[in-house]
Structure 1
C-alpha cells in the first residue's frame, strides 16, 4: 500500500490489532514531514491500549487459581484449564515480579495501579484502553480519585471522572492535576487537613544511591513543615556562622556537611562553636575545582601500629566530648584497598561506590570495625568466609579533606569485608610491595589451608533451630541478598530460612539455608515450592507452575578493563570543573531561599 494511504488508515483506526499491523508497515524514513506528528499520535494511542491490556493481565493473575488446586491431575490437562475466582490471591504480586523480572516493590506498585483502574475507576481504564488518554493521565486520575485512599467516596469519584474525563485528552497532566485538585477541595474543604494528617502519620526517611553520579540522597518526607523549616533555619544559621569564620565552601556544600554530621554522629555532643571548628578543619577534597593527580593512594607503614583488632571506639572515654561517628558495612577487594586496582567497592543496601571512597571509608573505621574476609573462586563466588583478627600494617591514607579520614574522629562499629581470589592470595603472599599486608594474608592463608575442618564446622549442629555464628556469616556472605526472585533486600536484613522446613526434618546446614526477606519468607505457605539443588542455587516453583532459578550475585562480578581513552590521567578537562564551581558560586542561596524541586 502507498505510504500516505497507510498513514491515513493509522490516523482513522482505533487502537488494537489492526492499527498495530498498519503501524508495523510504516517506516519512519518514508513518512512525509507533514504526517509525522499524526503517526506519533497513532503510536501513542496504540501504546496506551497495550499498556491497558498489560494492566488487565496483571489483575487477571490475581484471580487465577493455583495449578495445585485445578481439577485433573495430568500436566497436559492442567495446562488447558481456565479457572478464575472472585477473591484475590496474595501470592500474585510475587508471581508477577518473578515472571516480568521486576522487583517486588515495582510489582506491588504496578499491580496496585492496575487494580485501582480496572476495579475502582473502570471508566478511566476504558479511556486508556481506547487510547483517549495516556498512562500518565490515568495515574493522575487514580492519585486524586481512588476511593481506596479514603479521600473521596466511590460516588464522588464517579461524578468527578464523568465531569473531567472527556476534557482530559486536550489537557496536559499538570492541567488535569490542577483541575482535579481544585474540584476536590471545593467539594470537601476538610480534604487538605486529612491528607496532611495521613502524610505525617506515614512520615519517614529514604536513602538511595544515584547511579549516574555515585552519590547518595538522604531525605525525610511527610515532615511537619514548621519543624522542617526550623531545622532548615538552624542549618542556615550555622552556615552563615561558618562563612563568617572563613569557610571557603558554598552554602549548599556547607549545609550538606552540617546535615550529615548532625545525623551520623560526627557532631554529637559538640557545641556549635566546636561544630564550626570541625567544619573549618576538614574541608572536602571534592570541593576543590583545581586539578590534582589521579593516582593510587599513598600508604603508610607504621611498625608501631598494632596489626590486631582494636577495641571498639565506643568503649573508651565514655565521659569525654569526642564525637563518635556511626560505622558502616563496606565491601572492597583487598587489591583495591591496597591500591593495586580501582575496582568499585560496595555499601550493602545502597550500592557500588568508587574505589577512592571505599578506601576512605575503610580508613575511617580501621579502628573499631570488625574485619572479615571472603575467599573467592575464579568466577567471583564464595569459597570460604570468616572473621579476621589481623589488620594491615600498611593502610591507605585518606584523601586530604575527604571527610572520612582519621580527622573525622572515632567511628563506632561497622564491618569491613575484604575479598580476594585464591590465585590472588598465592600471588600477594610473597609480594614485597605488600609487606604490611603479609600478617593478614598469612591469617587468610592459614584459614584456607584448614578449609576442610572449617567447612565441617558449618555442619556441626544440623539439628539446631537457628543458624548462628560461622554458618550464619557464611550464608550471608555467599548469597548477599534475599533468595526470592528479583529481590535485592540484603542478606543481613533477611531471615535465614530453611529451604526444607526445620519442623519437617530440614537440617541447619549450608545446603538447606538461604536468606529470605519479610516479603518472600512466607511464600512457601502461599503456594510456592522451594528447593536447593546445590548450595546457593534456589529453585522456586510458583503457584501457577512457573519455574525460577535464583543465585546470589557474584561477590566480585566480571568487569571490563579500564578505558581512559581521551583522558590519559583519568580526569576530565579541569577548566570545566573550575568554570562550574564559579558558576555555582554566583548563585549561593540559603536552604529556605532555594527553589522547590520535584520529589524522587
Structure 2
C-alpha cells in the first residue's frame, strides 16, 4: 500500500482517474463479499432482530446502517441475484445496490426477480440517485396495485425524527409526511419568513424559516418559546470560565464550552449539584433534597449513565428505561449498583437468546454477543482524569 500511495504522486490526471475507477470497482467486489457474509450470518442466527445490533457492534456502525447492510445482503443473495452480479463485476457500488434493495423490498420474491431482470442492463454507470429512481420505477411497473397500497402505507407511517449533529446543532425531520401538508407547511413558513425579511429582519431566509418552524412547534411565534428540558453536563470550572473543556448534552453529544455556558445561564435554566470523584470524574452523588429515595435512585442512575448503556446507542438516559442487572426475581436489588439505563429497543435486546450482561461494582457493563464478542460500556466521567485534585 505504501508503494501504491507513493507511486500515485508521479501519475498524471488521466492515470489518477483510471486508478480511482479501478479501486472503485475493487471496492464493489469487496462489498459483494461483505453482503454475502452478512446474509450468511443472518441465516445462521435464524434471522433474529438482534443480528443488527451484533453487526453494529462488530463493525462499529450505528444500528440504522447495520440494519440496511443486513437487509441488503439478504435481498441480494435471494431475490436480486442479477444486481449482486453487477457488484461482482465491479459495475455497481454497494450503496447503489442498497438503493435497489430498498426500492424493491415491498415486492414479492417473484416480482423482485422480474424487476431485477429488467434492471440488470439499466444500472451500470448510473449514480445512486439514478439507480434509486430506476429501481422505484421498475418496481411500480412490476406491481402497480402493490405500488398503490405502498403509497397508502407510507402516508400512514408518517413520523417525526431527530438527528443529532455537531457544533451545537440538531435536525427535526418529518418522515413520510403527507405531501400536500408538507408542501402547505413549507409555503406558510416561507411566507412568514418573507414577511419578516421584507419588514427589515436581518436574519437570512434559511435562518428565518428554521426559527419560525421551531417557534411554531414550541407554541410560540417570533422567538417566544415554551420551556423545554435538556440535560447538560458541565463541571464547575467550565461553568465559571476557568477552562474551556467541552460540555456534554445527553442524547446529543459534546458542545463547545461557550455554548454550554450560554445554555446554562438562560433565564429558565435550573442547575443541579453533582458530586464527582475529583480524580476520575465519575459521578458519586447529586443534590436530591426534593426527591423521594426511589426517585432519587432513578435520577442518580440516569445522571451517571447519561445515555443508553449499549455501546453505540446515543439515546438520552432521561428517555430510557431502568433495568436490573440481576433480575428482580433472582434477588436483584433496586439500587445504583444494580441499575443501568437502556432505550426500549436495547432493553428488549438484553433478553434475546445468547446475549449476556454483567455489571461490575464500578458501573462497568460487560456485554457478550451470541458470536462470543465482548464489549465494555463504562459510565462516562463528568470530566477527564486528573493527576491531582483541582484544589
TM tier relative to shorter chain: 0.7 to 0.9
Match of 1:179 in 2: 134
Query: Offset at 1:538?
Result: 1.2
Give a deviation string over 1:502-540, Cα, whole Å, max 9, x none. Answer: 101222232222112222223244221211232311122
User: Does the 8 Å contact 2:92/2:124 carry over to 1?
Assistant: yes
> Is the CA contact 1:55–1:111 (under 8 Å) kept in the aligned structure 2?
yes
Answering whether residue 344 of structure 2 is matched by residue 518 of structure 1, we say yes
Larger Rg: 1
Matched, 1:371 2:272: yes
Length-normalised TM-score, structure 1: 0.57
Q: Per the alignment, do residues 469 and 236 of structure 1 end up closer, same or farther by CA in structure 2, a change over 3 Å counting? A: same
Partner of 2:155: 200
- SS of the counterpart of 2:345? coil
Alignment deviations for residues 273-298 of structure 1 (CA, whole Å, 9 cap, x no partner): xx4xx55xx9xxxxxxxxxxxxxxxx
How far, CA to CA, are the matches of 2:187 and 2:130 in structure 1?
34
CA distance in 2, matches of 1:36, 1:251: 41
Q: Matches of 2:249 and 2:5 in 1, distance apart? A: 49
2 CA distance for matches of 1:31 and 1:253? 45
1:382 has 2:283 as partner:
yes
1:112 aligns with 2:71: yes
Aligned to 1:447: none
SS of the equivalent of 1:102 reads coil
2:320 touches 2:343 (CA, 8 Å); kept in 1? yes
Query: 1:158 matched to which residue of 2?
Result: 113
Matched residue SS, 2:227: strand
1:406 corresponds to which residue? none
**Kindly tell me: are residues 326 and 170 of structure 1, through their superposed partners in 2, closer, same or farther at Cα, counting changes over 3 Å?**
closer
| TM-score normalized by the length of structure 2 | 0.84
Partner of 1:361: 263
Aligned residue runs from structure 1 range 45-64, under 5 A: 45-64=25-44
Residues 486 and 174 (structure 1 numbering): CA distance in 2 closer, same or farther, change over 3 Å? closer
**Counterpart mapping for 1:97-496 below 5 A:** 97-146=56-105, 149=106, 152-190=107-145, 193-211=148-166, 213-265=167-219, 267=220, 275=221, 324-366=226-268, 369=270, 371-387=272-288, 468-496=294-322
Aligned equivalents of 2:151 and 2:108: distance in 1? Answer: 18
Q: Write the distance in 1 (CA, Å) between the matches of 2:227 and 2:385.
A: 34
How many residues were matched structurally?
A: 383
SS of aligned partner of 2:322: strand
Higher mean displacement: 50-59 or 185-194: 185-194
Q: CA deviation at 1:190?
A: 4.9
Deviations 1:291-338 (A, max 9, x none): xxxxxxxxxxxxxxxxxxxxxxxxxxxxxxxx7433433332322322
What residue is the counterpart of 1:312 in the other structure? none
Decide whether the 8 Å contact of 1:62 with 1:90 is kept in 2. Answer: no
Cα distance in 1, alignment partners of residues 369 and 138 from structure 2: 45
> Aligned equivalents of 2:86 and 2:358: distance in 1?
44
Contact in 1 for aligned 2:115/2:142 (Cα 8 Å): no
**Superposed CA RMSD:** 3.2
Distance 1:382 1:234, change over 3 A: same
SS in 1 for 2:265: helix
Question: Quick check: 2:320–2:341 contact (8 Å CA) kept in 1?
Answer: yes
Write the distance in 2 (CA, Å) between the matches of 1:337 and 1:366: 16
SS of equivalent to 2:237: helix
Equivalent position to 2:355, from 528, 532, 536:
528
